[in-house]
Amino acid sequence: MNTTWKAWALCAALALPLYAHAADDALVKRGEYLAKAGDCIACHTAPHGKPFAGGLPMTTPMGAIYSTNITPDAQTGIGEYSEDDFKRAMREGVAKDGHNLYPAMPYPSYAKVNDDDMHALYAYFMNGVTPVKQANRESDIKWPLNMRWPVKFWNMVFLDKGVYRDKPGKDVAWNRGAYLIQGLGHCGSCHTPRGVAFQEKALDESGSAFLTGGLLDNWFASNLTGEHNVGLGRWSEADVAQFLKTGANQHASAFGAMASVINNSTQAMTDADVAAMSRYLKSLPSAGGSGGAAYAYDAKATKVSLTRPANDAGARVYTAYCMHCHGVDGRGFAPMLAPLAGNPNVLEKDPSSLINVTLNGTEDLVIGGIPAAYPMPKYASVLSDQQVADVVSFIRSGWGNGAPAVGAGEVGKIRKVAVK
């Protein structure tokens, strides 16, 4: 009996480290999933750079700043961060040495992330990420605007340090979606307009400006409320989920920074989490937009112009460069080729995204390792500012879109700063 007990005890002692290691692996794996939900790699990886080593330039009104090395390298990364240091950086925007991070780091959103998820993220970044020795790059912001101490006062005014709390009266899926959208997903960082102090005008659905769209880095991040024309009013929950999983649906296709979000983040999320995010977004009431009449498809006038394009400068460019993909009817071949008729990005008052995507094309969407078959090509070297203005204006007025025309000067401004 005693021998049997000793044998059992020995087996248990040998198994204990294996169990602990398995638990650690599971925690790291969960942290990896959460890091994808937060799309950390997109901002903290420079073009052709090593994952999470930083160096990606980000445009601000004061000059470019560069993302930091968040690998576990002890000298140049966050390898010396304790878990409390990590949480403070994530939630309060304060580095281990005490200096304030610029609020381009979305710590006002990450402040909502709960302790369990912070613990898993820390485990992943310390144990699941390859260390890279790469020094951080100073910003291009000139003195005295580059001083960081004013950020302390910014935080006092604009930072809410409370983690997300489930809203009473809302179901589990709605609360999960709200937590992901407002927290790790930090959707408001791009899709909510900024105030004079570069603060998001709202951090959740209690503010009328929340997710009503915002201009960032020469792209206009679209309205995600229930607004009929420029928002998600005509989208179903299934449409939203399809877009988050694949980057395209019957209404629109991803471009700009959103293509990176699809590639690195949302396509890797579980169906349940994507459904929860869709549920939450579709619950948001209509806000923003121009207040115009609801979009209604009308191809008559556009069809006449395309039949006789010689009489219309925009139609001439469209028939030469656009019609073979987006169609005479403007409906494209969704989801492979984006529709232009009724597309929320086309109807948006701010034409920045439409100009930018015409000049620069789109980053390849890579879903399940397979690149999209028909990415939007670049036309910056092919079309003049006036030709881009003509075709964009034609598209914005065609098929019942009814959006304002664009001038060559607007195209020139974006070409100057955004064309690679």
Is residue 325 annotated as involved in ligand binding?
Answer: yes
- d(Cα 293, Cα 215) in Å, to the nearest integer? 24
Angstrom distance (rounded) from CA 179 to CA 222 = 20
Burial of residue 418 (number of CB atoms within 10 Å: 0-12, 13-18, 19+): middle
Tokens of 200: 């998001």
11: annotated binding-site residue? no
Residue 181 makes CB contacts below 8 A (sequence gap 6+) with: 187, 188, 277, 280, 281
326 is in an annotated binding site: yes
Residues 6+ apart with CB under 8 A from 288: 209, 212, 213, 223, 225, 227, 230, 231
Residue 309 has a CB neighbour count (10 Å cut-off) of 17
Tell me which long-range contacts 265-269 makes (C-beta under 8 A, separation of at least 24). 265/36, 265/37, 265/38, 265/39, 265/42, 265/185, 267/367, 267/368, 268/33, 268/36, 269/33, 269/36, 269/37, 269/244
Number of other CB atoms surrounding residue 295 within 10 Å: 22
Distance in Å from the first CA to the final CA of the chain: 77
322 is in an annotated binding site: yes
- Based on its alpha-carbon atoms, the radius of gyration of the chain, rounded to whole angstroms, reads 24
Instruction: Say which residue the tokens 């983040």 belong to.
Output: 265
Q: How many secondary structure helices (H) and strands (E) does the chain include?
A: 18, 6
Largest CA distance in the chain: 100
Report whether 48 belongs to an annotated binding site: no
Contact predicate 43/127, CB 8 Å: no
Q: Which residues are documented as binding site?
A: 40, 43-44, 187, 190-191, 322, 325-326
- Per the annotation, where are the binding residues for heme c? 40, 43-44, 187, 190-191, 322, 325-326
